[in-house]
Each structure stands twice: as C-alpha cells, then as structure tokens.
Amino acid sequence: MSLKNCKRCGKLFNSQGHSVCPPCLEKDRVDFERIREYMLTHPYVSALELSRETGVKPAVITRFQREGRFISREQQEAELRCTACGEAITAGQICNDCLKKLGSPRQRPKKNKQ
C-alpha cells in the first residue's frame, strides 16, 4: 500500500491500486454507469455534451478517458492495422494470427548487427 491523494476529492488515502479513495470509488462507479448508459444510445457524443446530459463533471470524464475506461470518438473512428500484415485490429500493434506466427521472443531470430 502507498499513500496517494484521491484524484476526485484530493484527500490522502492508502491506495490499494485505485486512483481514488474508497468513498469516491463508489461515486466513480455511479458516474461511470451513467456515462456508459448514455453512450450506448449516443456513441459519438462529445465530452461536453456527455457532461451536460449525465451530470458528471468534465474533469471526471477526462480522468476516465485517460485511465482508458471508455473509448473516445477519435478512438472509435481510428482504424488500427496490424503492423506485420495490415489486417484490421481493435487494440495493440499486431493481430493474434501474426503473434502466433512470431512465437515467443525466445523463438524469434536475432537481427544481424552491422
């Protein structure tokens, strides 16, 4: 455990892997559920509109984005491609098929240093 300042209220607390204190963790859960429900019917909503419609503060929405809790409009519109074969992927840099072909790092051939 380590001492941290809560990202929501600023109070000092013993962190167990969370960025917010236990009382604020419940508030985060409620806010995230509001956001999730709204985004199910409005997937391309801006952060400002999301704040207005759900009552969740813009700073909380921004923190959720930075923590990777939901995908922003830019991420939804961006099409990721495997760097090895060019196949469309949803996350990372290499598709599962190419990862299987490459094998573990120990099996990869070493590059010649010139």
Per residue in 55-96, pLDDT tens? 999 999 988 887 878 765 555 555 667 888 988 776 667 888
Q: Is residue 16 part of a domain?
A: no
Q: Is residue 31 part of a domain?
A: yes
CB atoms within 10 A of CB 64: 19
Structure confidence by residue, pLDDT tens digits, 43-63: 888 889 999 999 999 999 988
pTM score: 0.59
Q: Is residue 10 part of a domain?
A: no
Look at residue 106 and give its three-state secondary structure.
coil
What is the rounded CA–CA span in Å between residue 78 and residue 91?
Answer: 11
- The boundaries of the domain holding residue 85 are 22-102
Q: How many domains does the chain have?
A: 1
Q: Is residue 51 part of a domain?
A: yes
Look at residue 16 and give its three-state secondary structure.
coil
What is the rounded CA–CA span in Å between residue 19 and residue 66?
Answer: 12
Q: Is residue 86 part of a domain?
A: yes
What is the rounded CA–CA span in Å between residue 73 and residue 104?
Answer: 34
Give the alpha-carbon dihedral of 66, 70, 76, 80, to 10 degrees: 70
Q: Is residue 74 part of a domain?
A: yes
DSSP-derived letter for residue 14 is E
Residues with Cβ within 8 Å of 26's Cβ and at least 6 positions away in sequence, in order, are none
Q: Is residue 7 part of a domain?
A: no
Structure confidence by residue, pLDDT tens digits, 6-24: 999 999 999 888 889 999 9
Q: Is residue 73 part of a domain?
A: yes
Q: What percent of the chain has a predicted confidence (pLDDT) above 70?
A: 78
